[in-house]
Amino acid sequence: MTKLNILIGGCRFIGSNLIFHLIPHSKHIIFLDRERVEKENYDNSIFPKNYVGRRKVTALVSLTQLISSIQTTPIHLDVKDVSQLESIIEKQQVDFMFISFDNIEARAIAKESAINSNIPTLFIGVPEGYIYIDWESHLLLSNSPIDIKKMKNELRKIRDVCTKLEFRPLGAIASGYAYHCFTRWINNKEKIMYNISDQIPDNIHVFSDRKPCKIIKNSLTQGFILKGNRMNVFIPLLCHKLLSKEEINALLKITKIEKIGLEKILMFLKFLNINYEIEKQLPNNQIVLNINDNQINEGYKVLIKQNANIIDVDFCVDHYQHLFLPELIMFIRESGSVYHLEGFHY
């Protein structure tokens, strides 16, 4: 495992929580902060006892030395300009930085220094009930005096919140997420970010089974796409069916093509050992299929378009017009039976 020289800018709740995560990855940790330990800091930070009034960087150096043999350097400094921080980066041969400064000017200096020095840097912020973690190249800091004033007011509120005992869990969670971002970068050179709120939704669905359910993997799942500024994320809502290996392979084989036609649909049925008969071919490229699946109690008929979109069925099912034949087959297999209706006149 590659060992890095890591700079931690900001030695309060997040910085003190990060130490335990970073020990396996560090050959040298540089602590940078301007403050001294206050009695209230013990409620939400991890400091050795009897350090009230002493420098925070010294407290964290002592803590690190208690639990490891990693080289440490304390730098008690109020960072005022970019050249100061760039000088530290160069002198200490910094490979990576974690920044959780609680003043906007220091964050702006850290961002510019990170970009100028080409040092990967994670910025971590925890306002009340909220966590954000992002990289130097994506961090947005306005130069507008009005915006800076607003941010200073917000950070002043954060400082008040950060002295409370209730804040400790959120700080611990933030450091854990930051560590996850760091390891993704270490292992895969991926730069992921987090933007998290701990607000409670109006409705919570609780499942009595404590064993985790494979909601996404190997399942037919319905949800929606959340469009973000980095990438789109699929948010699952309903798991309709856990799929067998045979069903997964059949779906993968037909989804590798750009456009699904009748030939591919019939191939899909063969993959699943489903017997079928093309009963009728109607105008507008519509087809009536008579399907016999050995996993269902009896056969059924469907009217489909050439692209496998369902037009009509001879049994009871909701919203079939919005389904394609592979989806419909999975829903029927999940139910295990069909109930025929009158009115299928094709």
How is the chain split into domains, by residue range? 4-197, 212-346
pLDDT of residue 114: 94
Q: How confident is the model over 94-126, as pLDDT tens digits?
A: 999 999 987 778 888 999 999 999 999 999 987
**Tens place of pLDDT per residue across the chain (346 aa):** 789 999 999 998 889 999 999 999 999 999 999 999 998 888 888 899 999 999 999 999 999 999 999 999 999 999 999 999 999 999 999 999 999 987 778 888 999 999 999 999 999 987 666 788 889 888 766 566 665 566 666 555 555 555 566 667 777 888 888 999 999 999 888 888 877 665 544 444 444 444 444 445 667 777 767 665 455 666 666 667 778 888 878 877 776 655 667 888 888 899 899 999 998 888 888 999 999 998 888 899 999 888 888 888 888 876 555 678 888 888 888 888 888 877 777 7
Q: How confident is the model over 257-300, as pLDDT tens digits?
A: 556 678 888 888 998 999 999 988 888 889 999 999 988 888 99
Pick from 47, 117, 111, 49: nearest CA to 79? 111
Q: What is the DSSP string of 195-262?
A: EEE-PPPS-----S--SPP-SSTTEEEEEEEEP-SS--EEEEEEEEEEPPHHHHHHHHHHHTSSS--H
* Beta pairing partners, 122: 98, 135
pLDDT of residue 289: 92
Pick from 181, 209, 213: nearest CA to 195? 181
Structure tokens at 317: 């099912």
User: Cα(97)–Cα(8) distance, rounded to whole angstroms?
Assistant: 6
pTM, to two decimals: 0.56
* Beta pairing partners, 30: 7, 73
pLDDT of residue 261: 76
pLDDT of residue 345: 78
Q: Which fold has domain 4-197?
A: Rossmann fold (3.40.50)
Consecutive H or E run containing 134: strand 130-135
